[in-house]
């Protein structure tokens, strides 16, 4: 599935510390949180928006997580964890893409690095949307 931003997608920049709401549906930190020499938590952006419901009428949501890093030489971010409450879905999600490890701890991309400019997307179905917030990530070494 590709990660097209559509009219229904609301940008959310989620950082684990000192969040503030700018009134436009975007949350961010006031400072840059470094996770290595080349990486910043500010480089990870989470977009989430409503999509068409399942045939049963259950609402669905598309989530896209992007690595916006533009540093030459790379700033791949791996081991990306999200705060996700008691996340569950009526639609099966590939666990290598997104899975709940425990209450309020979900893992993205099976922990594999998300390269600069890359996106990971998935859809879930539930009667309400979850606020998915990046809680942790590590700066991954570039592989040659």
CB atoms within 10 A of CB 117: 11
* 8 Å CB contact between 119 and 113: no
Q: How large is the C-alpha radius of gyration of the chain?
A: 15
Nearest-angstrom CA–CA distance, 53 and 58: 5
Which stretches within the chain are classed as H helix?
none
pLDDT (0 to 100) of residue 61: 99
Per-residue exposure over 81-101, b if at least 16 CB sit within 10 Å of its own CB, e if not: bbbbeebebeeebeeebbebe
pLDDT (0 to 100) of residue 123: 99
Look-up: residue for tokens 């893992």? 107
Domain boundaries, the chain: 9-139
pLDDT (0 to 100) of residue 38: 74
| CATH architecture of structural domain 9-139 | Sandwich (2.60)
Report which of 54, 60, 53, 64 is spatially closest to residue 5, judged by C-alpha positions: 64
pTM, full prediction: 0.75
Nearest-angstrom CA–CA distance, 95 and 69: 25
Report which of 72, 32, 27, 60 is spatially closest to residue 45, judged by C-alpha positions: 27
Q: What is the pLDDT of residues 56-94, one digit of tens each?
A: 999 999 999 999 988 766 789 999 999 999 999 999 999
């Amino acid at each position: 599935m590709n990660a097209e931003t559509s009219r229904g997608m609301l940008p959310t920049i989620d950082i684990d510390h000192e969040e503030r709401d700018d009134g436009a549906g975007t949350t961010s930190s006031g400072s840059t949180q470094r996770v290595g020499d080349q990486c910043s938590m500010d480089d990870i952006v989470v977009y989430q928006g409503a999509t068409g419901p399942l045939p049963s009428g259950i609402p669905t949501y598309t989530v896209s997580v992007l690595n916006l890093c533009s540093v030459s030489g790379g700033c791949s971010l791996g081991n990306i964890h999200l705060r996700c409450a008691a996340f569950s879905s009526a639609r099966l999600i590939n666990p290598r893409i997104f899975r709940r490890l425990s209450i309020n701890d979900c893992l993205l991309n099976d922990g594999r690095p998300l390269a600069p400019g890359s996106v990971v997307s998935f859809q879930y179905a539930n009667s309400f949307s979850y606020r998915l917030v990046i809680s942790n990530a590590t700066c991954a070494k570039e592989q040659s």
